[in-house]
Amino acid sequence: MNQRLKFSIHLIVSLLLLAILIILSIRFGANKNESSTVFNAIFHFQKNNVDQQIIRNIRIPRVIGAVLIGVALAGSGVLMQSITKNPMADSGILGINSGAALMLTVSFAFFPHLSTQGTTIFSILGAAFTSILVFVISSLKKSQMSPTILVLSGMAISAFFTAISEGLALLLHLKQDLAFWHFGGVSAVSWVQLKNLGPWIAIGIVILLFLAPSMNLLHLSDDSIKSLGRNINVIRILALICVVILSGISVSLVGAVAFVGLIIPHIAKFLIGTDYRQIIPLTLILGADLTVCADLIARTINPPNETPFGLIISLVGVPFFIYLARKDGNNA
């Protein structure tokens, strides 16, 4: 089959899937709604109808939040995997999410009256700091670091930061505020947050799409790229900025959710091959598919209780991770 056609079909199917998931998500939750209620909530909103209010003020922002998170996490995952040339990289696994979460805890603990924008900046700073740490660690060894070692250092960083976060939370009695951050979930996403954070994600996605053609070079070694006359460091730095923005934002929105960024790029590559101009858009949409679906399951599996959304993703993510680790081990 023609590669372009194949790509278009995959893109359309995953978009359709996303549309269906979004509609289901708005309709089903702890309480079911008639289609007409959903329709009215969007097009003929009545302020004092409780069902419509739930849909308009809770469900819809929540679904949009899930879409944005999926896009952001999958986008930062695909970048991490290609710039570290490491199939197991993911902002969660490399500890970047936990760095952002730590800085969020710090902001809650010491600056409790900060605005959403303010806490987001803390979160992004945490992500930036941890990314730099991970890259310094991975470049200490001159030869290419093995995927497993990079992942292990990331996990150590992650465990360390999570421990500090929890310690702080315990000491300062923040446990309640932070509990949901550790599991991750989009239940609390509000319109205000979306308005504040949406533009950041948009910036991240624009950089990402702009980088897509250059990402193809990362199939080659640094020597080969340079001898083809391209400067890979510029691409690396832009990609890193993009990762930092995307993972910082997603943590401040839903907490540290791992594995989306790990799984989705692999699925996209499995489906359409090696061209990042196609992999990246597909990755973004499939990421949204996964998070919207996970969120839908999270709130319908055991109503009226919410199952943590991060837990559902880990349920798929952990076996996948083990599979990748085994595959990597066999190649070595």
Partner 1 sequence: MDIIETKDVCVSYDKKLTIRDLSIRIPKGQITTLIGPNGCGKSTLIRTIAHLLKPSKGTVFLDSQNITQKKISDIAKEMAVLPQTNNLANDLTVQELVTFGRIPYRKRFASMSNLDHEKIDWALEKASLQDLRTRRLSTLSGGQRQRAWIAMAIAQDTDTIILDEPTTYLDLTHQLDVMLLIKELNEKEHRTIIMALHDLNHASRFSDQLIAIKKGQLQVSGPVQKVITQQNLRNIFDIDAKIIEDNSKPMILTYDRWRGETV
Residues that bind partner 1 (CB under 8 A): 85, 142, 213-214, 217, 219-221, 223-224, 226-231, 269, 273-275
* Closer by beta carbon to partner 1, 229 or else 304: 229
* Closer by beta carbon to partner 1, 172 or else 217: 217
What is the number of alpha carbons within 13 Å of residue 23 lying toward its C-beta? 9
Question: Minimum distance from CB of 94 to partner 1 (Å)?
Answer: 20
Residue 3 DSSP class: H
C-alpha distances in Å from residue 220, one per residue of 189, 228, 230 = 40, 10, 12
* Closer by beta carbon to partner 1, 8 or else 227: 227
Q: Tokens representing 329?
A: 């081990």
Question: Minimum distance from CB of 218 to partner 1 (Å)?
Answer: 9
Longest dimension (CA), the chain: 66
* Closer by beta carbon to partner 1, 81 or else 119: 81
* Closer by beta carbon to partner 1, 177 or else 275: 275
- For residue 32, the SS3 value is coil
Sort residue 303 into left (φ over 0), alpha (ψ -120 to 50) or beta.
beta
Question: Minimum distance from CB of 230 to partner 1 (Å)?
Answer: 7
Q: Which of 194, 193, 133, 198 is nearest to 161 (CA)?
A: 133
* Closer by beta carbon to partner 1, 171 or else 332: 332
Q: Where are the alpha helices (DSSP H) in 216-259?
A: 222-227, 232-254
* Closer by beta carbon to partner 1, 152 or else 234: 234
- State the Cα–Cα distance between residues 5 and 172, nearest whole angstrom: 56
Question: Minimum distance from CB of 216 to partner 1 (Å)?
Answer: 8
Question: Minimum distance from CB of 232 to partner 1 (Å)?
Answer: 10
Question: Minimum distance from CB of 222 to partner 1 (Å)?
Answer: 8
Residue by residue, DSSP assigns 64-130 as HHHHHHHHHHHHHHHHHHHHTT-TT--TTTTTHHHHHHHHHHHHHHH-TT--HHHHHHHHHHHHHHH
Question: Minimum distance from CB of 79 to partner 1 (Å)?
Answer: 17
Phi, psi of 188 (to 5 degrees): -95, 5
* Closer by beta carbon to partner 1, 115 or else 227: 227
Phi, psi of 270 (to 5 degrees): -60, -40
Question: Minimum distance from CB of 278 to partner 1 (Å)?
Answer: 12
Question: Minimum distance from CB of 141 to partner 1 (Å)?
Answer: 11
C-alpha distances in Å from residue 296, one per residue of 38, 98, 169, 293 = 16, 25, 29, 5
* Closer by beta carbon to partner 1, 27 or else 85: 85
- On the question of a cis peptide bond just before residue 304, with omega within 30 degrees of 0, the verdict is yes
Cβ(81)–Cβ(90) under 8 Å? yes
